[in-house]
Amino acid sequence: MGKPVRLPRLLAAWAVIALWLPYVALNTIFPGPQITYLLAMALAALGLFLLRLSGMSLGACYVRVGALSRQGALLLLPMLVVLPAALLVGRLQPWRPLDDLVYAPLSALAQELYFRGGLLVALATVCRGRKRMALAAQGALFGLWHLRAFTAVPMLPATGIIVVTTIAGLLWGLQAQHDRTMLYAAAEHALILALV
């Protein structure tokens, strides 16, 4: 039997980081929810596969079921402010079963698998374990991933979307690092996508 293929960890990390560009292109082009979310999920799976080839476990990529700690819950709490704020400015969406029950969870899961499960871990590898630097870079890249907002809404609200999504990326990344699971960030993300 041959020895299993093992990708050097640094090479795998850079490959996962490089996936950000097609991920951004996909979000910018946005061919439609079915195609976009399936391709986003495929890119997230590819990133995790590359990290697995380098010897990392899924648990090391925060893809595991784990308990939500008190500190993790406190990290998730600020993003729930988005919901009443959206209600106050009249931005809550009407109920659309397919969007809210299928597309929102798929989109949130694909984003969390890539940004928290793959990219955050890859950046920590490239940053040689400096978690704060990796977290900041991941949060900024998550915010920039939402640049499509400038094509959908006026400049001021689009800028607000970039700021809020950068903060969300930081908070969800912190929660994933703290509790070693992105499950709760994905759930909150899906809730926000379904309602806002």
Residue 87 lies in a domain: yes
Residue 1 lies in a domain: no
| Lowest mean pLDDT segment, chosen from 44-48, 157-161, 168-172 | 157-161
Domain count, the chain: 1
CA 51 to chain centre: 16
Residue 4 lies in a domain: no
Q: What is the pLDDT of residue 166?
A: 96
Residue 2 lies in a domain: no
Residue 131 lies in a domain: yes
Q: What is the pTM of this model?
A: 0.91
| Lowest mean pLDDT segment, chosen from 32-36, 75-79, 144-148 | 32-36
The domain in which residue 17 lies consists of: 9-195
Residue 121 lies in a domain: yes
Which DSSP string do the residues of the chain spell out, in sequence order? -PPPP---HHHHHHHHHHTHHHHHHHHHH---HHHHHHHHHHHHHHHHHHHHHTT--TGGGT-S--PPPHHHHHHHGGGGGHHHHHHHTT-PPPP-HHIIIIIHHHHHHHHHIIIIIIIHHHHHHHTTT-HHHHHHHHHHHHHHHTTTHHHHS-HHHHHHHHHHHHHHHHHHHHHHHHHS--HHHHHHHHHHHHH-
Residue 166 lies in a domain: yes
Which pLDDT band, with edges at 50, 70 and 90, does 1 fall under? low
Please tell me which residue, 32 or 10, carries the higher pLDDT value: 10
Residue 3 lies in a domain: no
When pLDDT is averaged across residues 131-147 and rounded to a whole number, the result is 95
When pLDDT is averaged across residues 99-119 and rounded to a whole number, the result is 93
